[in-house]
Structure 1
């Protein structure tokens, strides 16, 4: 599944640490110690997954991701950072990140993330998932689209992430804190934003039932 991973991290000890661990998980690991080198390696090898720090010489991590996202909306990108500052997190949200992992980085954190990625890859290649089969409502993990009959429903990136989270935990309660962690990488207490996303999903997919559990979270019936 994940064959090539790019690590952009200017701390050589951390970079070597990750490279050694990830080399056992994929076919090829590319290491860059500054943002410009990371960009060069990205263009040359088109990796399947990217890990990047924020503060790096020559080109910082956020600028690197912005350059990549100008023409590549698909490659999963993970920020590895010591910063939990809300300003960094808010800057990162529009960049369609796969994850925001706070330092110190441990094998357990990376391994848990890779397992989640592999699970998503399996789902992408599986058949479409029924949301409301009686009303011909389905979601396709591969194309990231929902359909009601022959009608395709356009979804924004955060709507897709929230819908997949609810589908992955169908008939279970997904808490506000879990939703915040998945959508934003941290508990930012963005309940109004989450409520807005749920409202949008209900409007776009009226055949889907999202139950609200007051002060707790949501459940997809």
Structure 2
């Protein structure tokens, strides 16, 4: 996992015992691990340091790690994030589904599970560096121009269409749920099922049907 060897990791964790062991473990893969013990300190580090990936405990003493992630995701949907917990919490996992996470780790951390989680982070970081995303039928999405192109033809996109393709590219191997549409495309505006269906129908009419697979009663998934 050499790709992570020059990367900086932010750990949001308030257990001194866990921090000491975690730093040694994480630094086997990354260049440096920065530690924040509360949300305020985490944002200060994000402001002052170059952070490439984040690991956050869900259960802090007086705070919730998901609140930190939710606020961070309002301005950054690129950085890979893993969450930590001493046990599985189905309600919190459901909330986390909309936060574009790269993995979920249970304490004490299993080494094999950590490697798998870091591999997902590595894949996301590599994807972030990819400027052109292939769709189907010759269409491509240009992440820099924020436009769809096909051969010499360029398709202009409105704001919601740009947000849709950005969300799709960030979640190429994941199912896009209605909650994710509301959060990332409609930015918490009210959206009915018919509005969602009409939006997807317009996208398919413009750019073909074959790049987006419908999963009934669940959502959509990009076909790559």
- Partner of 1:20 in structure 2? 24
- Partner of 2:154 in structure 1? 150
CA shift in 2, pair 1:158/1:219, >3 Å: closer
Provide the C-alpha distance between the structure 1 equivalents of 2:122 and 2:32, rounded to a whole number of angstroms: 17
- Partner of 1:204 in structure 2? 203
CA shift in 2, pair 1:97/1:119, >3 Å: closer
Give the match's secondary structure for 1:154: helix
Give the match's secondary structure for 2:135: strand
CA-CA distance at 1:5 after TM superposition: 0.2
Two-structure CA RMSD over aligned residues (Å): 3.9
Give the number of aligned pairs. 193
Provide the C-alpha distance between the structure 1 equivalents of 2:167 and 2:130, rounded to a whole number of angstroms: 22
1:113-136 CA distances to partner (integer Å, 9 max, x unpaired)? 222222333344346243234xx4
Provide the C-alpha distance between the structure 1 equivalents of 2:28 and 2:204, rounded to a whole number of angstroms: 42
CA shift in 2, pair 1:123/1:85, >3 Å: closer
Unpaired stretches in structure 1, ≥5 consecutive residues: 166-177, 185-195
Provide the C-alpha distance between the structure 1 equivalents of 2:35 and 2:17, rounded to a whole number of angstroms: 12
Give yes or no for the alignment of 1:107 onto 2:111: yes
Give yes or no for the alignment of 1:91 onto 2:95: yes
Q: Contact 1:78/1:97 (CA < 8 Å) preserved in 2?
A: no
CA-CA distance at 1:78 after TM superposition: 2.1
Moved more, 205-214 or 58-67: 205-214
Provide the C-alpha distance between the structure 2 equivalents of 1:128 and 1:77, rounded to a whole number of angstroms: 23
